[in-house]
Amino acid sequence: MLIPLLLAGILMSLYTALPLPAQADSIQPMARYFGMRHGESVPSSQQRICSAMAAGIDPRNGLTERGRQEAQESSDAWIAAHGDTIRRAWQQGGLWIVSSPFSRSRETAEILVERLQHWHRQQAPALAIRLEAELRERDFGRFEGQSPSGPLYRRIWDQDATNPEGTPWGVESAAAVQRRGAALIARLEREASANPYQVTVLVSHGDTLKILQTSAQVQSAAAHQDASRVEPFHTGEMRALIWTHPPAPAAGP
């Protein structure tokens, strides 16, 4: 009797000493976030800067057919990769689609919702798109409506690397974009704090998403154009946004 007891004790001690397997899809201490850049838009296909709110919400500045296809393919790939997490969040009322009010982002968000509804035919809470101005395109000031956009963007990004608080040509500073993005995340964190299954998709723009990543990584907004530190989003691309430290919830009642 003594030998079996000793063997059982040894086996138990070995078992408890082994690390537990990581639980797939474990609950994180903060809401999960995914960034999604809008698909190709009419302005981008024309190499034309479209950053003012009035022009941005104009349906004529929405997605091209290629942009719609990009959004659909990206949505389907995201669903295929994260189906269990998405389903659970949706069933718990914790799947949020938060978009810039610009037509190109809103239309991308609409395609995402359409693909989600096509995939998840079972009964689930209604899925609405939430428009948040903090996710809008960066305001490019006096360059609004100008083309070709590439050389103009490079002039601005060179300035950002030198002084992220700078506002030459009336362009919204990279630091200001960082602050408004961080403020939105803090507010969403406060609103989602009671739901451990929360999944939030942020549908936005190239510069806005790059600069939001600097906030997530606790870097200066000046780093947003450094590809070795911040990976840019391609049109229609969707991927996880990882915070180095959980963002502090915004103060409020």
pLDDT tens-digit profile of 134-186?
999 999 999 999 999 999 999 999 999 999 999 999 999 999 999 999 999 99
Tokens matching residue 104: 């190109």
- DSSP run (H or E) holding 97: strand 95-99
Does 21 score more than 80 pLDDT? no
Looking at residue 219, what DSSP letter applies? -
Q: What is the mean pLDDT of the chain?
A: 86
Report yes or no: 224 and 230 within 8 Å, Cβ to Cβ: yes
- Type of residue at 109: A
What is the rounded distance in angstroms from the CA atom of residue 174 to the CA atom of residue 213?
12
**HEC states along 121-187?**
CCCCCCCCEEECHHHCCCCCHHHCCCCCHHHHHHHHHHHHHHCCCCCHHHCCCHHHHHHHHHHHHHH
What is the rounded distance in angstroms from the CA atom of residue 233 to the CA atom of residue 248?
25
What is the rounded distance in angstroms from the CA atom of residue 135 to the CA atom of residue 113?
18
Does 203 score more than 50 pLDDT? yes
**76-126 pLDDT tens trace:** 999 999 999 999 999 999 999 999 999 999 999 999 999 999 998 866 678
* Band (247; pLDDT cuts 50, 70, 90): low
The β-bridge relationship of strands 238-241 and 32-37 is antiparallel
